[in-house]
Structure 1
Amino acid sequence: MTPKSTNLANFKVGVDNVIFSVDMAQNRVLVLLVMRQGDPFSGQWSLPGTLVRQGESLEAAAYRILAEKIRFKNIYLEQLYTFGGPDRDPRESPDCFGVRYLSVSYFALVRFEEAQLIADGVTGIAWYPLERVPELAFDHHQILEYGYQRLRNKLEYSPVAFDVLPETFTLGDLYQLYTSVLGENFSDYSNFRTRLLKLGFLSDTGVKVSRGAGRPASLYRFNSESFALLKDKPMVFI
């Protein structure tokens, strides 16, 4: 058996952002994709990404990519996972002294109604519904799948939804966001409503709104102080 090389890998570090939004008008989850303009994978769709600059933190690189691609007011961002397989980037040299490309991925959620795409210098940038995502460059399908699972998990135990909802919202608005991401069978509306109100981290504003036929709906506001008492409990929301 040939002994493994003891030479240390020479890494370049990149950041790839999985930027999600929820179009509640059409009940669909969207991901932001850009078209690559250079090799490798020129002309192919990918997640927005960049190589980390000298003296730049990983988080700063993630925010830089966000600022270059999209204008937003509210966003949730967290580090997702590090992808570093030895064959994930075709630019890697086959010899042991070649450069390896490592991707530190970030997961983001933005408010669809407020997000504005920036097309300057970009031949292709678009929101894609998850069920219509085209073939992606590198291992970005794997990164996207990992990010979508994180989004689903975060909805179950964290207040991430309130980072992209308006300051005041109806319980119907909140339920629609959850069904868009988790599917309509995750919970019926009555049980969802009862559980959330019982937990006590939603404050009734006393204001009601009418949307079409039916009874006016109450507007609520997320109470972060009340939620802090529940943050370590699993499956808070559903």
Structure 2
Amino acid sequence: MPGRLQRKAIDSLAGGDLADFKVGVDNVIFSVDTEQNRLLVLLVMRHDDPFLGYWSLPGTLVRHGESLEDAAYRVLSEKIRVENLYLEQLYTFGGPNRDPREAENSFGVRYLSVSHFALVRFAEAELIADGVSGIAWYPLSQVPTLAFDHNSILDYGYQRLRNKLEYSPIAFEVLPQTFTLGDLYQLYGTVLGPDFADYSNFRARLLKLGFLRDTGQKTSRGAGRPASLYCFDADAFEPCKDKPMVFI
């Protein structure tokens, strides 16, 4: 006898034809403006229907012979120039009617979005206009209503970013090569909120992990005492990269 899930699948197949799909990628591209303590996301203005005139996440349909990752990098290269980039696949959004074009065609075509999550260094990122207006960094707190279901994709990406900060060294992807512990604390606070941890406890935990190396150099900012400059020691982290960890 078929189980409950099997019966549900059989009933579903019996109730209609198999769907035909078009596959796209949408990129949630984050950066952190450390000077103004702002978490930013890259948005582009749509110049075609559907959602003409709406802001959206940078995206594209996947071409013949192109992998999902290649499509994600392609749309990134069309919108932004940056040397240091962290990119990973985020989630697949494929609910019915997520794209108005589904109701407009008579072929039953569904539109899937395989979203990707990217993090870039703000100071190094150069936006590419290429004669097309409407590309900008938006503070996360000021993002408008986006095209399609891109607000939901953005929310999912933001949660992934928060989680990655807690168990991975992703923060060092957007910091300069050398930084103070205050810079690092400020970055975490910008993404997670100002009350995520006490500075003393944060400092002690990060140094105990053994992945931050004191460069022996100091920097002076304002009238305060010079602060030590650190760098992330990738070699020290390598033996532990596959172990469960908590960074904060």
Give the alignment's TM-score, normalised by structure 1.
Answer: 0.95
Match of 1:206 among 194, 216, 225: 216
Of 197-206 and 222-231, the range deviating more from structure 2: 222-231
Flag structure 2 segments of 5+ consecutive residues without an equivalent. Answer: 1-10
One-letter code aligned to 1:126: A
Question: Which residue is equivalent to 1:230?
Answer: 240
Equivalent residue number for residue 197 of structure 2: 187
Q: Per-residue deviation at 1:215? A: 1.0
- Over aligned residue pairs, what C-alpha RMSD do you find? 1.8
> Quick one: which amino acid aligns to residue 83 of structure 1?
F
Aligned to 2:162: 152
> How many matched pairs?
238
Q: Which residue of 1 aligns with 2:54?
A: 44
1:22 pairs with 6, 29, 32, which one?
Answer: 32
Match of 1:84 in 2: 94
Work out whether residues 34 and 47 of structure 1, in 8 Å CA contact, stay in contact via their aligned partners in 2: yes
In the alignment, is residue 110 of structure 1 matched against residue 120 of structure 2?
yes
Taking a change above 3 Å as real, the CA distance of residues 55 and 2 of structure 1, as seen in their structure-2 partners, is: closer
Structure 1, unaligned runs of 5 or more: none
> Structure 1 pair 6/126, CA: closer, same or farther in 2 (3 Å)?
same
Cross-structure match for 1:65: 75
Cα gap change, 1:2 to 1:200, in 2 (>3 Å) = closer
Q: How far apart in 2 are the matches of 1:32 and 1:177?
A: 18
How far is the alpha carbon of 1:211 from its aligned partner?
Answer: 1.1
- CA deviation string 1:32-85 (max 9, x = no partner): 000000010011100000000111111011111111101111111000000000
Provide Cα deviations, 1:199-218, integer angstroms capped at 9, x if missing partner. 11111111111111111111
Distance 2:21 2:227 in 1: 55
Per-residue CA shift, 1:179-198, capped at 9, x if unaligned? 00001111111111111111
Measure the CA separation in 2 of the matches of 1:4 and 1:132: 46
Q: 2:210, 2:236 within 8 Å by CA — same for their partners in 1?
A: yes
Q: Is the 8 Å Cα contact of residues 96 and 110 (structure 2) preserved in structure 1?
A: yes
Whether 2:54 is the aligned partner of 1:32: answer no
* Cα distance in 2 for residues equivalent to 1:46 and 1:2: 33
Cα distance in structure 1, aligned partners of 2:111 and 2:85: 28
CA separation of 1:95 and 1:136: change in aligned 2, threshold 3 A: closer
Q: Is 1:126 aligned to residue 126 of structure 2?
A: no
Q: 2 CA distance for matches of 1:134 and 1:194?
A: 39
